[in-house]
Amino acid sequence: MFYREAGDFKTSYAEDTQTFPIRFDRYRYFAVLAVAFLVVPFVINDYWLNAVFLPFLIYSIAAIGLNILVGYCGQVSLGTGGFMAVGAYACYKLMTAFPDVNIFFHVIIAGGVTAAVGTLFGLPSLRIKGFYLAVATLAAQFFLVWLFNRVPWFYNYSASGQINAPERTIFGIPVTGAETAPWATYLLCLVFLTASALIARNLTRGMAGRKWMAIRDMDIAAEIIGVNPLRAKLSAFAVSSFFVGIAGALFFAVYLGAVEVGEVFGINKSFLVLFMVIIGGLGSIFGSFAGAAFLVLLPVLLKNLLVGGLGWPTDLAAHLEFIIVGGLIVTFLVAEPHGLAQLWRVAKEKLRLWPFPH
Amino acid sequence: MKLKLATATAAAILAAAPAMADLVFPDLSYRTGPYAANGIPFSDGYQDYLTLLNERDGGIGGEKITINECETGYNTEKGVECYESTKGEGSLVYQPLSTGITYQLIPKVSADGIPMHTMGYGRTSAKNGRVFKWVFNYPANYWDGASHAVTHILNENDGDISDKTIALVYHNSAYGKEPIRTLEKLSEKHGYDLTLLPVDHPGQEQKSQWLQIRREKPDYVIMWGWGVMNQVAIQEAVNIRFPMENFIGIWWSGSENDVKPAGKAADGYKALTFHNLGSDYPVYDDIQEYVVDRGKAAGAGDQIGTVLYNRGMYAAMLATEAAKTAQEIHDTSAITAEQMRDGMENLEMTEEKMAAIGLPNFGPEFTVTCENHGGNGMGAVAQWDAEAEEWSLITDYFQSDQEILQPLIEEDSMQYAEENDIELRCDE
């Protein structure tokens, strides 16, 4: 009824190639942005922020980053946790070394540092592929965590080996440390997420993205038509690590405030983000959001339902949570191997014709 | 419409239902994951004691107690979520039983004005109440523990250990790294050699560390382990035939769950403790009568009398005694978190008090003051008897080396105060 392109005429190339060519889609997108920027900050409280929104926003950035590498360029990576740690530690070192520089720039520079490290660990991808590459990136994961545990310089020689985010402000409003207002940290992460998603979306539908997808679909054919695999693969690693690094920096500085590298950025984190990408949908920006939402919200939802709603013992609920989340993942992937994004795509196709599908 | 309904329900479920109650004691427990073996008995003891007060005395000073359990899995992210979801319900005091979560919560509780009690764990320098207004770690802390272990070794060697080597096997996290500074300082003082052997989370893989111990043959091994790491370490020590009486664990590495898997060979293993052991106390009769027999025991109810159950009960006892103190100070039974803090800061544990509770001679006597949030640093050494399957104290309570510890605590807490712009208290 509403969701169709009939009568929606385009008169220029720019209009024709925009991200949301259908008018209804476009308005929905603006509505979501408006709610996220103009409504949520006024109603958000500490619980919603820390249990739902911050993890969702930050994991979305990480999932977008990993999706570029795995979904668009086809290079399987298990090093996400390690790269997030690079972002976190880079941010920490910058925050403590240059306290006068705005945290906003620290986060971006931390992303840049991670991009450099990611490119370095992406070098093996030029020679090895598939599972073998996954194992090589696994080495990055373990090496980086070991490094941050082993070399005291990274944690400023603190006795506990932890890094703690000191208080930093943007426009005089604290965004890290203990005295933060929920809306401030929420908006900071939302700005980063929006920017990341916009950049990622436009990269992936431009020349860079087409090169990545060519490499993903068949690297030999891509090389024959003139795609330089070295630059394509390494740029995918760099851009992906950049976003992952930003996610790591925000995860440490804004969300947790104190980080112990082995626990927070361990191999589990790598798997979690990879699952988000796979469940959400490989090669889709929307899929990154959907996957992050699924894996962040579902456990909280189940916990509140089982413990808060039904009053079951917490250990039983925690175990059931594993079973239910695991079962749902399997069911989803059997029903729709291309993830939540494909479900969304199919729903939209059907809506275009609804209510007269024939 | 369906989608909207589903979203609305989901939103309603996501917003945890606030249950306003009388005296709320949140219990951030972990009954799942690699640390569950140690998390379960502690939580059971904590909850059973509170249930006992509810059933026997009708709460504290006439106010019922509500226990708010939240599963953290020893995971800091879940710990933060648990804290945020329970803090709005009038929580009086947090005891996360995790050093990692403690570090996370210190700035949060300070901003929200809710006290936190980290009994024998957490950030050691929180002992300095001038800097850490909301954090307490009485009656003993990690640096006390490190000093206790070294003092015990000193006593065994007639006061001279300059030719000895000591290895520290530790959980490679903020928790395990806590004693390193202290042990290094003590090594300067007493002249022993220190070897550091980190074990990564969760600690199931320790072959290389114990191979190194076998090769280097240190005279003593001190362990800072938790969860499955303890069991593996003790088993590995047995495998390389390390003399068990020279193997000393911190108080978190000394429960039945840790030594039993190694069977008879674990006989003679030592662990520190800051409270008494066993179930030979009048309070256990009450727990049996009011809690277990009424079917209100927490968990499976099979942990009663174990070391960590006792510790959980001790934690609950200290918390409720502080609540009683707060009720006296403020002359009201429905205390707030802020008043609870005053109660904790003015807590005085005496032998008469403990005897009246039914726990005579259970822990050391101590007094909390504005400056000292950490007690006097008393501890003792316990030894495992595999034949009788029980822990028993082999020393009296003795004090840690305050001469070494006090400057360290001062230095570390002052650094924190400087980094975070904290105004020192207790000067008026």
Amino acid at A348: K
Instruction: Answer whether A50 sits within 8 Å of B420, measured CB to CB.
Output: no
What phi and psi, each to the nearest 5 degrees, are found at residue A225? -85, 5
Give the model's pLDDT for residue A291. Answer: 94
Backbone angles phi, psi at A282, to 5 degrees: -70, 135
| Residue contact B71–A314, C-beta within 8 A | yes
Which structural domain, as residue segments, surrounds residue A282? 22-353
Going from the C-alpha of A166 to that of each of A58, A96, A184, B21, the distances in angstroms are 19, 8, 16, 35
CB A144 within 8 A of CB A6: no
Q: Give the integer Cα–Cα distance in Å for A255 and A87.
A: 14
CB-CB under 8 Å, B412 with A262: no
Tokens of A94: 């910058």
Torsion angle (degrees, nearest 10) of CA B98, A259, A295, B12 = 70
B146 to chain A, closest Cα gap in Å: 14
Q: Is residue A15 situated within a structural domain? A: no
Residue B36, exposed/middle/buried by CB under 10 A (0-12, 13-18, 19+)? buried
- Cβ–Cβ contact B198 with A under 8 A: yes
Residue B348, classed as helix, strand or coil, is strand
Separation CA A137–CA A230 (nearest Å): 17
Quick check: A178 and B108 CB within 8 A?
yes
Rounded to a whole number of angstroms, the distance from the CA of A303 to the nearest CA of chain B is: 9
Nearest to B181 among A50, A159, A303 (CB): A159
Task: Tell whether A10 is covered by a domain.
Answer: no
Residue A12 lies in a domain: no
How many Å lie between the alpha carbon of B406 and the closest alpha carbon of chain A?
Answer: 16
Cβ pair B85:A47 closer than 8 A: yes
**Any domain includes A9:** no
Q: Chain B residue closest to A311 (CA)?
A: B69
Structure tokens that stand for A294 in this block: 């699924």
Q: What is the CATH number of the domain that holds A62?
A: 1.10.3470
Find the helix packing angle between A182-204 and A207-217, rounded to 10°: 70
> 409-428 in B: which are within 8 Å (CB) of A?
412, 419-421
Q: Which residues of A touch B40 (CB under 8 A)?
A: 315
d(CA B72, CA B137): 20
**Among residues of chain A, what percentage have pLDDT more than 70?**
99
Name every chain B residue with its beta carbon within 8 A of the beta carbon of A59.
Answer: none
- What number of residues does chain B have? 428
Q: What's the CA gap between A289 and A33, in Å, rounded?
A: 14
Other beta carbons less than 10 A from residue A104's beta carbon:
15
Give the pairing of strands B378-385 and B270-273. antiparallel
Q: Are B374 and B130 in contact (CB under 8 A)?
A: no
Are the Cβ atoms of A257 and B77 closer than 8 angstroms? no
Domains of chain B: 21-141+279-377 (3.40.50.2300), 142-277+380-407 (3.40.50.2300)
Taking the CA of residue A123 and the nearest CA in chain B, the distance in Å comes to 28
**Positive/negative CA dihedral, B209, B215, B217, B218:** negative
Question: Counting every residue, how long is chain A?
Answer: 358
State the smallest CA–CA distance between residue A167 and chain B in angstroms. Answer: 8
Record: contact A260-B174, CB cut-off 8 A: yes
* Residue B361 exposure: Cα atoms within 13 Å on the Cβ side: 9
Which residue of chain A is at minimal alpha-carbon distance from B28? A314
Minimal Cβ distance to A260: which of B36, B111, B173: B173
**Which burial class, exposed, middle or buried, applies to A120 when counting CB atoms under 10 A from its CB (0-12, 13-18, 19+)?**
middle
Distance from CA of A134 to the nearest CA of B (A): 22
> What does the block give as tokens for B242?
């390390």
Distance CA B326, CA B348 (A): 12
- Let me know if B268 is exposed, middle or buried by CB neighbors in 10 A (0-12, 13-18, 19+): middle
pLDDT tens digits in sequence order for chain B, 428 residues long: 445 555 555 555 555 444 445 899 999 999 998 899 899 999 999 999 999 999 999 999 889 999 999 999 898 888 988 998 898 888 999 999 998 899 889 988 998 999 999 999 988 889 999 999 999 998 899 999 999 999 999 999 998 999 999 999 999 888 898 899 899 999 999 999 999 999 988 888 899 999 999 999 999 999 999 989 999 999 999 999 999 999 999 999 999 989 999 999 999 999 999 999 988 899 999 999 999 999 999 888 888 989 999 999 999 999 999 999 999 999 998 999 999 999 999 999 999 999 999 999 898 899 999 999 998 889 999 999 999 999 999 999 999 999 999 999 999 899 888 877 888 988 76
CA–chain centroid gap for B162, Å, is: 31
Residue A99 has φ and ψ, to the nearest 5°, of -65, -15
B100–A263 CB contact, under 8 Å:
yes
Which among A132, A210, A304, A93 is positioned nearest to B11, based on CA atoms?
A: A304
Question: Quick check: helix, strand or coil at residue B136?
Answer: strand
Q: Are B362 and B281 in contact (CB under 8 A)?
A: yes
> B139: cis peptide before it, omega within 30°?
yes
Does the beta carbon of B13 lie under 8 angstroms from any beta carbon of chain A?
A: yes
Q: Which amino acid is at B305?
A: G
CB contact under 8 A, A314 and B69: yes
Q: Is residue A11 part of a domain?
A: no
Pick A262's closest partner by Cβ from B107, B172, B412.
B172
Q: Among B77, B72, B68, which residue's Cα sits nearest to residue B16?
A: B68
Domain count, chain A: 1
Contact residues, chain A, for B419 at CB < 8 Å: 164, 166
